[in-house]
């Protein structure tokens, strides 16, 4: 089925970013896997070439391209080459939208130029050791003291946890309330008491820094409050559909890449004197993989256009997120099976993809939470 989501401008952008990936990411990614972190230089180079925060206004250095198709292209091209280290998409698709929607003009002028350049790397800190999906149970507090907040608490599983220069922290400004007591406050690198913990060792996505964050009497100016006090939970909920769509785009592209590697292997690898892809079981499995990827792509492409039109519902984003992440796992697992023993060897990209894929069913909302959202939207 022909994909008609993109026009000539998008294709030119894809071509430019694909060249960037081949030059600036692919040759270094294996080393980043060993290091557990990517270089700051690749962020600055991506920013210099216009591959970060494309939607931000030109006056801040952005391109003013309020079109999620460009975001999708970045996501897809990284997934094609198994580049799970540089989390440009978290920066562009997830964190910066909080600032775009809720930051004051003064805050935008202060932060956006360096964010677009890639010299200010962003993160968002919601998850805590004892809360998981229960944001109402947050224990991190932000107590108002004159023109400052004093923040105390701990966060975990924070993407860009080591690299970040600016982190949007979900904290309780009213500990007596649950969801209505949550506010979003921006903490910046160098603020006294803001400390990074371990760069956590993970099953996959080893080049991507995921860390614990600690806030010990961190004094943050009230000027760093995003929006209004007590509306943080609402802000988080309003931005989650885009985050979940971004994850879905990546899942589909990663599954498609895995299918491509498996098809190539099935054509080249021979057993009993013929390519393994010619056996009926192999053909059936490849057909199943192709069908699942194609169906997922059609739905996700529709969701992209719904987001552009301002119509993407919370339930539709949840459907895309859970189904595509589960589909990604199925397709990659079948790819490993068709590779046989070689699929278990890390020198083959399918093995790394298998490790990297597992977390997709967890972050940005677990499969179980997504189903709960959909069920409630149905009136149950």
Cβ-proximal residues to 8 (8 Å cutoff; 6+ apart), any chain: none
Torsion sign across C-alpha atoms 242, 305, 261, 328:
positive
Q: Which of 157, 316, 182 is nearest to 242 (CA)?
A: 316
| CB atoms inside a 10 Å sphere around CB 137 | 13
**Distances 309 to 66, 67, 234 between C-alpha atoms, Å:** 11, 9, 21
Contact 184, 235 (CB under 8 A): yes
- Taking the C-alpha atoms of residue 185 and residue 196, their distance in angstroms, rounded to an integer, is 17
Give the residue numbers marked as catalytic: 243
**Distances 266 to 88, 112, 254, 348, 354 between C-alpha atoms, Å:** 33, 47, 18, 14, 18
Enumerate the β-bridge partners of residue 185. 169, 225
- Taking the C-alpha atoms of residue 103 and residue 122, their distance in angstroms, rounded to an integer, is 14
- Counting Cα atoms < 13 Å in the Cβ hemisphere of 19 gives 6
The answer for 237, left when phi > 0, alpha when psi is -120 to 50, beta otherwise, is: alpha
Enumerate the β-bridge partners of residue 167. 123, 187
Residue with structure tokens 């108002």?
Answer: 144
- Taking the C-alpha atoms of residue 56 and residue 117, their distance in angstroms, rounded to an integer, is 11
């Amino acid at each position: 089925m022909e994909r008609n989501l993109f026009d000539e401008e998008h294709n030119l952008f894809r071509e430019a970013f694909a060249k960037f990936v081949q030059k600036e990411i692919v040759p270094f990614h294996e080393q980043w896997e060993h290091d557990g972190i990517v270089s700051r230089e690749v962020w600055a180079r991506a920013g210099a070439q216009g591959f970060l925060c494309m939607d931000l206004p030109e006056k801040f250095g952005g391109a003013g391209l309020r079109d999620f198709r460009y975001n999708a292209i970045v996501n897809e091209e990284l997934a094609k080459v198994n580049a799970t280290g540089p989390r440009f998409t978290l920066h562009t698709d997830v964190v910066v939208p909080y600032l775009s929607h809720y930051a004051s003009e003064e805050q935008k002028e202060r932060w956006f130029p360096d964010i677009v350049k890639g010299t200010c790397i962003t993160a968002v800190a919601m998850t805590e050791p004892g809360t998981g999906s229960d944001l109402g149970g947050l224990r991190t507090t932000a107590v108002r003291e004159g023109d400052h907040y004093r923040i105390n608490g701990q966060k975990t599983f924070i993407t860009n946890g080591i690299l970040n220069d600016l982190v949007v922290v979900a904290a309780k400004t009213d500990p007596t309330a649950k969801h209505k007591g949550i506010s979003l406050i921006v903490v910046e690198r160098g603020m006294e008491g803001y400390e990074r913990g371990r760069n956590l060792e993970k099953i996959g996505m080893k080049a991507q820094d995921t860390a614990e964050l600690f806030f010990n009497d961190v004094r943050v100016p009230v000027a760093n409050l995003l929006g209004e006090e007590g509306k943080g939970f609402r802000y988080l909920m309003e931005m989650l559909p885009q985050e979940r769509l971004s994850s879905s785009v990546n899942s589909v592209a990663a599954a498609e890449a895995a299918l491509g590697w498996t098809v190539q292997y099935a054509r080249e690898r021979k057993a009993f004197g013929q390519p393994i892809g010619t056996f009926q079981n192999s053909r059936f499995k490849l057909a199943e993989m192709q069908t699942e990827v194609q169906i997922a792509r059609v739905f996700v492409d529709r969701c992209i256009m719904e987001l552009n039109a301002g119509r993407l519902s919370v339930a539709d984003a949840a459907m895309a997120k859970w189904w595509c992440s589960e589909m990604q796992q199925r397709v990659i697992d079948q790819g490993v099976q068709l590779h046989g023993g070689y699929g278990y060897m890390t020198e083959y990209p399918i093995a790394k993809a298998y490790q990297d894929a597992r977390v997709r069913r967890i972050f940005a909302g677990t499969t179980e939470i997504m189903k709960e959202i959909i069920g409630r939207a149905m009136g149950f």
